[in-house]
Amino acid sequence: MASALHRDTLDRLIAEARACRACAEFLPLGPRPVFQVSRTAKLLITSQAPGTRVHESGMPFTDASGDRLRAWLGMSKTLFYDASRIAILPMGMCYPGRLPNGGDAPPRPECAPLWRRRFLEAMPAVRLTLLVGKYAQAWALGPAAVTDRVHDFRRYLPRYFPLPHPSWRSTLWERRNPWFAAEVLPALRAEIAALFDAPLADP
């Protein structure tokens, strides 16, 4: 009875979030919240906000950033999109538009205060949260430089693992910071493999 009540509560929360129009007037493509959640997910990926391709697909990380993130994780698409094991909850669930300089706009400030804590309370199985990019890190840990946070990732374990945002800009960032591939990524993959006690890639 209790588990059915919990499922109903999460189902209602999902329905509420998908119907959200709190910042509709500011969204150039209109509201389309994109996220992936379940009560059984052990890994939570906290990201920034959807881009245009994700807005179109309605699925998280169906773009070049998603390809890069999965490569960092050494993870198959099958596992990545298995909501029973992995939740994906961006700081802003809708595409926020572009900045005048052409970069992605930040997540809408209305979103996280409305939804984030409610979803976290409804996902009691989460053991590790990947904080992808500065907005996710600032929410959970307070403001600081992303490079410093990623370099000091062990400080935040076992609850959090900070990562840069996997945009095209991260390619140059990785070249400037070779310790990321040498030290951080192997540790990241080991943490996730231990969490699931299973391979991360398809056989």
Residue-wise pLDDT for 99-120, tens only, equals: 887 778 999 999 999 999 999 9
**Among candidate residues 2, 43, 26, the one with its CA nearest the CA of residue 92:** 26
Q: Is residue 175 over pLDDT 90?
A: yes
State the chain's maximal CA–CA distance in angstroms: 54
Task: Record the pTM.
Answer: 0.93
Please identify, in words, the CATH class of the domain defined by 2-196: alpha beta
* Residue 12 C-beta-side C-alpha neighbours within 13 Å: 7
Question: 199 pLDDT exceeds 70?
Answer: no
Break the chain into its structural domains and give their ranges: 2-196
The alpha carbon dihedral of 139, 144, 145, 146 has a sign of negative
Residue 75: predicted pLDDT? 96
Note the pLDDT of residue 100. Answer: 85
What is the per-residue pLDDT across 9-61, written as a single tens digit (0 to 9) for each?
A: 999 999 999 999 999 999 999 999 999 999 999 999 999 999 999 999 999 99
Tell me the pLDDT of the chain averaged across its residues: 93
DSSP 135-190: HHHHHHH-S--HHHHHHTGGGGTTTEEEE---STHHHHHHHH-THIIIIIHHHHHH
Residue 202, pLDDT > 70, answer no
